[in-house]
Amino acid sequence: MFSYRHAFHAGNHADVLKHAVLIATLQYLTEKDAALTVLDTHAGAGLYRLDGDYARTSGEASEGILKLTAADAPGAALAPMLQEYVDTVRAFNQGSGTKVYPGSPFIIQRLLRAHDKLKLFELHPTDLRALAGNVAQLDAGRQVAVLHEDGFEGIKKFLPPPARRALVLCDPSYEMKSDYGKVLDMMQDALKRFATGTYAVWYPIIPRPEAHDLPRRLKTMAQKAGKSWLHATLTVKSSKITENAQGQTKRPGLPASGMFLINPPHTLKAALQAALPQMVERLGQDRNATHTLEAGG
């Protein structure tokens, strides 16, 4: 149950998509004066060392954030959405290098105002200890709460929030197939409790029926509820399993991921229309690299 560690994957292409969308969404939601409550269902450790053992072992950040922050990164200026993301990550680093990667909790906290609230849920015991220690250094007081709870269930007691404004970020590991069903159950319940909240679900695009069914079912859910929705995907390489000359099997790792939002900012689609082609251009690893973007409601 607890084998997944995000430290291996911090700053990869999936984080680029997820966190660029998260930042754009938060910037929009914090334009209004009323207090905002943010619920992060699977918070992780909060901060990650890109020069640490986990990140160096996987090398995934070198195909993600590090391609965007490299001093010699080619091409035209970044789209505003991607530039905001890069600037946010750089703010956690001193000098020219990118050695620290902020997870969702630290990205969110950085963008919140003093009267906003952040609830962080984490079950993994090691990540929970790291998260609590990292958050303590923020000296954020009662603004940030770290909860040793199942985020799928834990968010229920916070919906609807006092000021009736909320963003829910749901990004489980999906290591267990049951996570897909739990996401759908959580979303169905959340929309009944607080239909006007903004909900952002990240998911991996892998050869598994549940992964392809999830966005379809979320779309149907949004349509039945009469809510607007947005679905963005980023593919950086082929998902095919290959063999080398010695007959050894090579698995591609995570080739693609998606973000599905219900009640997204009305500005998000245009921002992604500019940013997604650049993500493909800069992060794509083979000719299968592509993106999709659709919205409705």
Q: Is the peptide bond preceding residue 160 cis, with omega within 30 degrees of 0?
A: yes
Is the Cα torsion angle 203, 262, 41, 37 positive or negative in sign?
Answer: positive
Measured CA distances, 55 to 6, 12, 235, 286 (Å): 9, 10, 21, 22
Distance from C-alpha of 162 to C-alpha of 236, rounded to nearest angstrom: 41
Q: Which of 40, 116, 171, 179 is catalytic?
A: 171
Name the residue with tokens 């009323």: 34
Enter the tokens of residue 249: 């099997």
Q: Which residue has the tokens 């995907």?
A: 233
51 tagged catalytic: no
- CB distance 64 to 283 below 8 Å: yes
For residues 238 and 81, give the distance between their C-alpha atoms in angstroms, rounded to a whole number.
26
Cα 186 from chain centroid?
Answer: 17
Distance CA 295, CA 79 (A): 20
CB atoms within 10 A of CB 136: 11
Q: In angstroms, rounded to a whole number, what is the distance separating the alpha carbons of residues 132 and 106?
A: 12
CA angle 178, 176, 235 (to 5 degrees): 105
Q: What is the rounded CA–CA span in Å between residue 104 and residue 23?
A: 9
- 3 state DSSP class of 186: helix
Q: What is d(CA 130, CA 123) in angstroms, rounded to the nearest whole number?
A: 12
Cβ atoms within 10 Å, residue 204: 18
Q: Which residues are annotated as catalytic?
A: 171
